[in-house]
Structures are given as C-alpha cells and as structure tokens.
Structure 1
Amino acid sequence: MTSTLARPDAKTPRRAWAGLAVLLLPVLLVSMDMSVLYLAMPTLTQSLDPSATQQLWILDIYGFMIAGLLITMGNLGDRIGRRNILLAGATVFGIASVLAAFAPSAGVLIAARALMGVGGATLLPSSLALISTLFPDDRARATAIGVWTAFFAGGSAVGPIIGGVLLHHYWWGSVFLINTPVLLVLLVFGPLLLPEHRAAGRGPLDWVSVLLSIGGILPIVYAVKHCATEGFDLPSIGIGIVGVLLLIAFVRRQTQLTEPLLDLSLFRRGLFSVAIGSSTVGMLALAGMSYLTSMYLQSVTGRDALASALLGIPGAVVVFVFSMSGARIGRKLGTKATFVFALSMAALGNLMLLGVGVDGGIGWYIAGSVVAGVGFGIAFTLVSEVAVSSVPAERAGSAVGISETSFELGNGLGLSLLGSLAALVFRSGGDFAPTLGETLTDSGGNAELVRSARESFVTGMHVATTTGAVLLAGMAAVAFFSGRTSASRSGYARKRG
C-alpha cells in the first residue's frame, strides 16, 4: 500500500471511491472503540463501581475477542461472502453498542463489549479484502489501502478526543451510542456500493482451531491480570497453564492442516516477523501509554474529560499525518532503517513521560505524545505493506490477517500487561484501594492519602511506560540486526508496477 493521498485514478470508477468511503466507516469505529473508553473510565467507575479486574476486562475484552476471531472471520468471509459478513458484523456491532451504552452493571458492560468484539472482528478483514475487489488497478488499490491504514491508525488516536467531547456534554454511554448512526449509513449504502465476493474451492472452516486459539488467549490474559491485581495463587496459575497448553495445541494443529487458520511458515521470513513484532509491540506500548496518561490527566491533575481530550489533540494529529507518509519515508530511507527510526522515536516519546509529575509536567506529556506519535504513525503504516510485500502473492491474504491480528493483540496486551504492571506498582505504594479512582472516592477528604495515592499512580505510570519504551527499543534492535530489505523494496516496486 501507499500512504500518499493521490488523486483518484481516472481509470477507477467514482463508485469505487464512494465504496471506499463507506468501508472507512467501520474501520474508524473499530479502531476508535479500542481507545474511546480511556477517558470514560473515571466517570464509568463512579456509575457502575467495577472492581479493578472488571475495569481491565471492560477495556480489553473487546480487543482480545477481535484478536481471537480476526483470522477466523476472514476465512468465514471468503466462504459466505465478504459483503455479507461485513453487513452482518455491522448489525451485531450496532446492537452490542446499544447494550453497552445502557448497561446497568459492569458484568453486562463486559458482555456487551465482548459482543462488540465479535462484530468488530468481521469488519476489519472483510473491509480490507473488499478493497482488492473494488480496485483491480495496482496503483489505485495501493492508495486505497494506504487511506484505510491511516484511518485505522488515526481512529485509535482520536478515540479519546471524541470520547472527551461526548463526556463533556453527555453521560458515559454516549461513547458507545455514537456508533449506531454511523453503522446505519454503512447498512444503507453498503449493499448499493460494495460488490460481493466469495472465494471458490475453499475447504470447511476448522472450528477446532478457532476454539483452541480463543481458549488459549483468554485464560493467559486472565491469569496475568489476576496475578497483577490480586497476587499469585494456585487457581490463576493453573488457568494460565491451561491457556499455554491450548495455544501449544493450536500451534501444533496449524502445522498439520492443509488450510490452517494461521500459516506459521510465514514467520520464517525475517522481514515479515519484524513487521508483525513491530505492530504488536507498538500497539502494546501505545495502548498502555494512552490509557495511563488519560487516567493521569483526570485523576491526578484534576482535569475534566474535555480538557484532557484537548491535550491529546497534538499527538493524535501527528499519528494521523505520519501514518499517511510512512510508506513514502520507507522508500526513501529503506524499510529496515525506517522501522528502526520509527520504533526509536516511539521509545523516546514514552521515556519523555518520566518528566510528568503530580504537580506539573504537562509540557512533557504533550512533547512525549507528539514524539511517540511520529514513531507510531510511521511504523503502523509500514506494517501491512511490508507484511504483504514480503510474501508471495498467493499468501497475501494470510499475511494481512496476521498483521491485523497483531494490532488487536498488541492493544489488548498493552492494557492487560502494562495496565496491570502500573496497578501493581500503585498498590505497593501504600494502603490504597485497588485503583486510584476508588482510593480518591474513599479518601474521605484525607489530603495526605490523596497526595500519596497520586504519587504512587504516577510512579506506576512511569514504570509501565518505561517498560513500553524498553520493549520498543528492543524491537528496534531486532529490526536493526535483521536481514536487509531488498525483498521489500522489490515488493514496493512490484505493487507500483
């Protein structure tokens, strides 16, 4: 793909570009809903009173359901029709959004978020696959996929901003209810502008692999979150071991199937592995950074949701702008050098948050989010293009499915691992409630307790974002020492034919 917004090709019908506009709607919603809750959590916590574990599930069950089902839904769309599954997924997503908006308890909200994940898992792979049908011309298709990727990256960045504006005027459920009119536009114009496409000659879907993948991911995540918030115990360790065993069984099964859900042979290609590693680690760091800084701006500095959202605008703009130019930079600097540069910038931005404190440092937050945004924007745009161009054309579909899964998995891991790490450091700082919000609510006006809790939260945020920076720097080192990227450059050339 390319990330430059070229003028529509004269050979490409306007109907195709109108179809692309329709396809951008679900992409924006799915990526936005990964991050829109960051600013809503303090308000939501006051209304529903979720436990610390429930808070994390509310945030990341959505991403993990998408991650577990993306490849499955991509395969299913090939069999029953990509437009059909796109519209069916949009319907499920819309219904689940209404349920989430009016959820009376944390348990209902978690269930609604899980259902949103099921619907969201159909929207990403089907929308990207339909672009190939809409744009048979290589150059037009590259431009279209570039725009798709920019909206995917930009949606995650603007989610907190949109959430902040809505929370300033309405109740927390509005961040979900806004999905419904957008999805109605998709349901009305999708059948008119989007072509149907089915792949012939595909074997039956392997549901055993589907169950093994989901059954492996969720227990591991639960064990990590439980140990971080409640401490180590035998039940959580046992659940984690069960998850590991199921994932091992999933991997072994993929090596035995003629049509696996996950083509593991792709990972033997060095450049492909670098791209997938970069997207996973990048989204992990971005999700952790976005969630913790959103909590910091409200619960530590005392800003309301709108003021917090406005401070996030510079970083969001930078992510979107640089996601539009990532592939162009990659062609000029070389793919490997661009990955190293982008990951290093993201790591530096995370480290700059060490300048943020209880009594000041907002300038450091803005500067850090902007510097990190440059890196994230460039890296994310390169991932799908490198993933596709580093494999043979007949494997491009599998490569796209894996790359999108890595984005979702990284997002969920960032919230569960970095969020849990920050919570662990926070709780070790004193006799606090499980979360900062609960501590502030139960403080009874104890200024010393409030001050101590806020300092402990900032320490936890520093530890978590520094951990994200270390992981990004490590991935940059992996990219630096990986093989040269001549294959990728030839891939770019082929796609521009």
Structure 2
Amino acid sequence: MKTPVRRPWLGLLVILAPVLLVAMDGSVLFLVMPELTTELRPTADESLWILDVYGFAVGSLLVAFGNIGDRYGRLKLLMIGAALFGTSSAGASFAQTPEQLIGLRALMGIAGATLLPSALAVLGELFPDARQRSRAIGIFAAAFAAGFAIGPVAAGQLLDRFWWGSVFLINLPVVAVFLVLAPFLLRDVRAVRPGKVDVLSVLTSASGLLLTVYAVKRIAAGGFDLTPAVLGTAGVLTLTWFVRRQRRLEYPLIEVTLFRDRVFSLAIITGLVPLAAWSATAYLAGIHLQSVLGLPVQQAALLAVPGAVVLTLTCVITPAVVGRIGIRSALVACHGLVAVGLLLLLLVDAGGGIVWYVASTVIAGIGYGISFSVVADVAVAAVPTERGGSAAAIAETSNELGNALGIALLGSLAAAVFRLQGPGVAGTLPETVQTAGVPAPAIADAEAAFVLGLHLTVVVIAVIHVALAVLSARWIRTPVPVA
C-alpha cells in the first residue's frame, strides 16, 4: 500500500528536475557574458541573441507543444524533449563561435518548450486529489522560480573553477537521471482534445516575434536603417495576421478571445512584465558588478543569493497570504514592490552601490515571487472552467516571453543608450573594457554610459509597474477566487 502513496511524490521529484533546468537555463548566462565575450567575441547584437533566443524558442512553442503532448502522449514528449535538451546542452558547452552557440541555445529552447507544459499536465494524473494537486502545483511553481533565481548563482560558482561552457554541462546528469526514472514513475496520458495543431499558427507566431525583436535589436545596436525597419514592419504584420487567424480557427493555438476579460488580461501582463524586469535588470546588474565594479564572478554570484532566497520563499508562502489579503491586494503589492526595488538601482553608479543592489533584489524579489505564484491561478479563475486549460497555457507562455522580451527590448534600450553616449570603441561595455589600448578616460565614459542605460531602463520598467499597480486596484473590484 505504501508504493502507490509514495509514487506521486517521487514522480513529482522526477518532474521537477527538468523544470528546474529549463528555468535555470533562462538565466544562467547573466553572469557568464563577460567571460563568454572574451572567449567567443560576439558582437552586441549576437550577445543579445545568445541570451534571449532560448526564451523566444520556449515561449513561441510552449502552447504548440502543450497541444501536441495532449494529443500524442505527454510522457513520450517529455522523453524526447529531455534527450534533445541534454544533447543540445552538451553541444553548447563546446561551441566555438557565437553563431554555433545561438543555434544550440535555440535547440535547447525548443526542447524546453516540450518539457514545461507536459510536466505540468502530468501532475494532474499523479495527484487526482485536489488538495494534494494544489500543493504539488505550488511546489512546481516554487521550483520554476528557484531555477530562474539560482541560475546566476550556480553559474558564478562554476565559473570560479571551470570554463564558461561548464554551466551547460551540469544539465547532463540531471537529464540522464530523468530519462532512467521517468518511464517507471510516470504514465503516458493523452487528453481527449479534438482538432489538429495548426502548423501555420506556430510558424507565424514564432516568425513574427523573431522578426520584430530582431528589428528592435538592430536599430538599438546600429541606429535606424531600412533593413531592420522593413523586417520589423513584416514582423508586426505577421503577428497581426496570426491574431486574426486565431479568431477564425475552430481550434486555435491561442484563444485570443480570453483577453476580453480585464482580469485575465491583467494576469497575463503580470506574468510577462515582472519577468521582463527581472531578466533585464539581472543581466545588466551582472555586467555592472563585473565590468564596472570589477568584482570576480563568484562574488557577484553570492550577492544574488539573498534575492534568490527571498524570491523562492515568497513563492512558497504567497498562496496562504493571498487567501487572507485577496488577489487585488496581492497584485498591487506585486507591482508596487517590484517598482520600489528597481528604483533602488538608481543609487548604483560607476563608483559602487553594492548594498543598494542587494536591497533591490530582496525587495523586488518579493514582488517577483508573488507574480510567479498567483498569475496562473488568477488567469484560470477569471475564465469559464472549460477554458481553464487554455488560460493556464497562455499564462505559462507569458512567463517565458517575459524572460526573453526583457533582455531583447529592455536590453536593447540599454544598448542604444550605450551606443549614443559611449566612447564608440565597441558595441558593449565588456568589449570596450577588453579592447587593448583604450585610454582610461574612454573606459570611464563607457562605464558612465552603461550606468546611464541601466538607470533609464530601470525608470521605464518602474513606471510600467506603477501603472499596473493602479490598474490592479481599479480593475479588480471584487475578490477573485484563486483556483
């Protein structure tokens, strides 16, 4: 009798392994970029692609692979995805050029998109009891958040002892254990869902996103030009056509009609924007700590620990707190705390600010933790029961796109400021610092330009979060039950 009782929790532990890896690989390069830049010499544009092509691949394909897993078998998709994730991680560890690393990171993202939705869906089979299932989903969310938070910390510890590619090799033993144990602890389950996956919708959503973001990156790195303008326009038109197509399909990839509900829309935005803020500021702050303040990577990683711990603990306790204060107060607190935490980075400059950086990660970390914990539940609770699956998939997708868009758009904003205000030696601060023969005044100008870009980015994100706090207070008039 004990084995059936233990099996669900052992199965949960097995599932959490790839979930943790997928989340970690969204942030593991934040502290690696200065050393990676030294070794591979990527351009400013290539550096941003190395960071965020992974998140775009995950976010663009998450809903599609969720549908595929429902129709053709979730365990089968998990096994294929885990094998591809391990293989592409091994390749990324030994990449010799920026182009190779970008391609392998894209493959890792495709594999990650197969793992997340199927892993979450399998929990329903493991835990038929509603109370146990709720606890399991809470642990799942905490593991996902912890992965994002500890990615830079783990990378810092590895870089202190090994080369930059070691941050990907740690995936291999975890993947191996999963491939061995999953067939014994998880059962293959297919949902009864009609219709086929619309391949054209998958292609247009992914291509529209990539074209639009590529144009933003090119303009930020090199100024306005006809080529990125044309590509950006094509990307926007493609995304517009994608949305219109979803309205006509009997079985759409994304049910865009769900966005007619204000609370649902607010939940999805809350899934996207805090992740964008977290990824962009973690990336920029990592460069500041190493390239401006000159801290070794291990010390920079340790400074991220308090924020990571607070974020993870907040994910665990938030569901109980929300039961007392309500969803409206939770969302207002989420956006307000992120805004306050980010504004503390305005006190960081070329001469220091380590204490303010740690305080920023701790305060904003509470807001990020709230976002991780409540977004999916709020989105599901805001729509009819029969549309809960679609709502959950969109909520999960918003997290991944937020992580990618934060670096792509907000990172491009910082890059544009650096290009306009910097000494013009190179496209990024790490490249400028590592260029031989650059005089000290030019280095100082580069550091000042980078800090200005960081500050401007922080202000933009903080203003958006304040606006979302106001919308949360106004749009959610009555308590919204948590699913």
The TM-score normalised by the length of structure 2 is 0.98
| C-alpha displacement of 1:470 | 1.2
> Where do residues 267-416 of structure 1 align in structure 2 (5 Å cutoff)?
267-416=259-408
Q: How far apart, CA to CA, are the structure 1 residues paired with 2:473 and 2:18?
A: 35
* Length, aligned pairs only: 481
| C-alpha displacement of 1:445 | 5.4
| C-alpha displacement of 1:296 | 0.6
Q: How far apart, CA to CA, are the structure 2 residues paired with 1:244 and 1:45?
A: 31
Structure 2 stretches lacking a partner, 5+ long: none
Task: Work out whether residues 67 and 406 of structure 1, in 8 Å CA contact, stay in contact via their aligned partners in 2.
Answer: yes
Q: How far apart, CA to CA, are the structure 1 residues paired with 2:85 and 2:385?
A: 32
Task: Give the match for residue 241 of structure 2.
Answer: 249
Q: How far apart, CA to CA, are the structure 2 residues paired with 1:274 and 1:53?
A: 32
Q: How far apart, CA to CA, are the structure 2 residues paired with 1:242 and 1:51?
A: 24
Distance 1:133 1:47, change over 3 A: same
> Where do residues 59-74 of structure 1 align in structure 2 (5 Å cutoff)?
59-74=51-66
> Where do residues 85-484 of structure 1 align in structure 2 (5 Å cutoff)?
85-200=77-192, 202-432=194-424, 433-444=426-437, 446-484=439-477
Task: Work out whether residues 210 and 235 of structure 2, in 8 Å CA contact, stay in contact via their aligned partners in 1.
Answer: yes
Q: How far apart, CA to CA, are the structure 2 residues paired with 1:471 and 1:43?
A: 32
Structure 1 stretches lacking a partner, 5+ long: 1-9
Which stretch of the first structure deviates more once superposed, 247-256 or 438-447? Answer: 438-447
Q: How far apart, CA to CA, are the structure 2 residues paired with 1:321 and 1:328?
A: 12
Give the RMSD, CA atoms, in angstroms.
Answer: 1.3
The TM-score normalised by the length of structure 1 is 0.95
Deviation per residue, 1:24-67 (Å, 9 max, x gap)? 01111011101000011000000000010000000000000111
Distance 1:175 1:485, change over 3 A: farther
Task: Work out whether residues 280 and 407 of structure 2, in 8 Å CA contact, stay in contact via their aligned partners in 1.
Answer: yes
Task: Give the match for residue 39 of structure 1.
Answer: 31
Report SS of the residue matched to 1:341: helix
| C-alpha displacement of 1:430 | 3.2
| C-alpha displacement of 1:392 | 2.4
Q: How far apart, CA to CA, are the structure 2 residues paired with 1:182 and 1:134?
A: 21
Q: How far apart, CA to CA, are the structure 2 residues paired with 1:440 and 1:415?
A: 21
Distance 1:398 1:201, change over 3 A: closer
| C-alpha displacement of 1:431 | 2.3
Which stretch of the first structure deviates more once superposed, 125-134 or 459-468? Answer: 459-468
> Where do residues 42-61 of structure 1 align in structure 2 (5 Å cutoff)?
42-61=34-53
Deviation per residue, 1:337-380 (Å, 9 max, x gap)? 11001110011000000111111211111111110001111122
Deviation per residue, 1:453-486 (Å, 9 max, x gap)? 1111111111112211111112112211113243
Q: How far apart, CA to CA, are the structure 2 residues paired with 1:445 and 1:437?
A: 12
Q: How far apart, CA to CA, are the structure 2 residues paired with 1:152 and 1:34?
A: 11
Report SS of the residue matched to 1:34: coil
- Structure 2 residue 9 is matched with structure 1 residue 27: no
Q: How far apart, CA to CA, are the structure 2 residues paired with 1:20 and 1:342?
A: 28
Moved over 6 A (4+): none
Q: How far apart, CA to CA, are the structure 2 residues paired with 1:485 and 1:297?
A: 44
Report SS of the residue matched to 2:15: helix
Q: How far apart, CA to CA, are the structure 1 residues paired with 2:81 and 2:8?
A: 21
Deviation per residue, 1:210-261 (Å, 9 max, x gap)? 1111111100010011111111111101101111111111111111111111
Task: Work out whether residues 217 and 247 of structure 1, in 8 Å CA contact, stay in contact via their aligned partners in 2.
Answer: yes
Percent identity between matched residues is 48
Report SS of the residue matched to 1:474: helix
Deviation per residue, 1:82-124 (Å, 9 max, x gap)? 1110111011111110110000100000000000010000111
Q: How far apart, CA to CA, are the structure 2 residues paired with 1:307 and 1:369?
A: 15
Q: How far apart, CA to CA, are the structure 1 residues paired with 2:61 and 2:419?
A: 34
AA aligned to 1:334 is G
AA aligned to 1:126 is S
Q: How far apart, CA to CA, are the structure 2 residues paired with 1:385 and 1:186?
A: 28
AA aligned to 1:338 is A
Q: How far apart, CA to CA, are the structure 1 residues paired with 2:355 and 2:151?
A: 21
Q: How far apart, CA to CA, are the structure 1 residues paired with 2:332 and 2:413?
A: 26
Report SS of the residue matched to 2:160: helix
Q: How far apart, CA to CA, are the structure 1 residues paired with 2:58 and 2:452?
A: 31
| C-alpha displacement of 1:12 | 7.4
Q: 1:82 aligns with which of 61, 74, 80?
A: 74
